[in-house]
Amino acid sequence: MSNLRHVTLGTVGLALLVMHGPSQAAPDPLVTQGEQLYVQNCQVCHQADAIGKPGFAPSLTNQELLATASDKFLLTTIRDGRPGTGMPPFSHLGKDGIEAVVAYLRGHATRPNRSAKVDAQPPAKGDAVLGEPLFHEICYTCHGNKGDGYIDGGTGTAIGKAGFLEKASDGFIRTTIKNGRTQTRMLGFQGASGLANLDDQQIDDLIVYLRSIRH
């Protein structure tokens, strides 16, 4: 009788599991808060789900970005904005609010965060004189003649301004140039499938040139 009771209860439990499915995890309050703040403050430029708009605002949920950008990079960019671009500072959200927005963006990630390894790459050792013609040959059409981005009519971001260069590590810039960002207009520039098969030294020359024109 005891064994029959156990079988019956087990059958009932299995039936309930099939009917209702596995329990759903409760929403993370921080992510929920971040989504609300994103909609109120960021969506007008970066679009729904932060997919961005070419020539207007970059994607903030691009998988390469989320995998290689550190929390510090994201937090300080939101806090300080990008002077000289359409990205204003959002320091009024406060530390907790900005962290919530980053948590919301991180919630879109499907790849491991390897930003610590990317930022630990050695500083670029190159020649700005050699980097300049490379920039004008392969970068300026999207990022502008001096890396001014959208305000110079480009479809790419302002990579020549201090607001970006003071926050981005050489490893972050190097990795982005090499691999690009899928589902955006930023394609990779290394390897047979790249827009240009730049070697490591040429990429470092580009980085050093970018650092030299910071404005």
- Domain containing residue 188: 116-212
Q: Are residues 129 and 106 in the same domain?
A: no
pTM of the model: 0.85
- With bands split at pLDDT 50, 70 and 90, how would you rate the model's confidence at 61? very high
Residue 21 lies in a domain: no
Domain contains 14:
no
Are residue 164 and residue 192 in the same domain, yes or no? Answer: yes
Residue ending a domain, choose from 71, 97, 115: 115
Mean pLDDT of 149-154: 87
Q: Are 199 and 126 in contact (CB under 8 A)?
A: no
pLDDT digits (tens, 9 = 90+) for 78-123: 999 999 999 999 999 999 999 999 999 999 999 999 999 999 999 9
| Statement: residue 10 has pLDDT above 80 | no
| Whether pLDDT at 8 is above 60 | no
**207 and 120 part of one domain:** yes
196 and 122 share a domain? yes
108 and 127 housed in the same domain: no
Instruction: Report the sign of the C-alpha dihedral through residues 163, 135, 142, 103, in that order.
Output: negative
Q: Which of 171, 168, 183 is nearest to 49 (CA)?
A: 183
* Residue matched to tokens 């995998």: 67
Summarize pLDDT for 40-52 with one digit per residue, the tens. Answer: 999 999 999 899 9
CATH assignment of the domain containing 182 = 1.10.760.10
Q: Is residue 13 part of a domain?
A: no
pLDDT digits (tens, 9 = 90+) for 128-138: 999 999 999 99
- Number of structural domains the chain divides into: 2
5 inside domain: no
Where among 115, 131, 159 does a domain terminate?
115
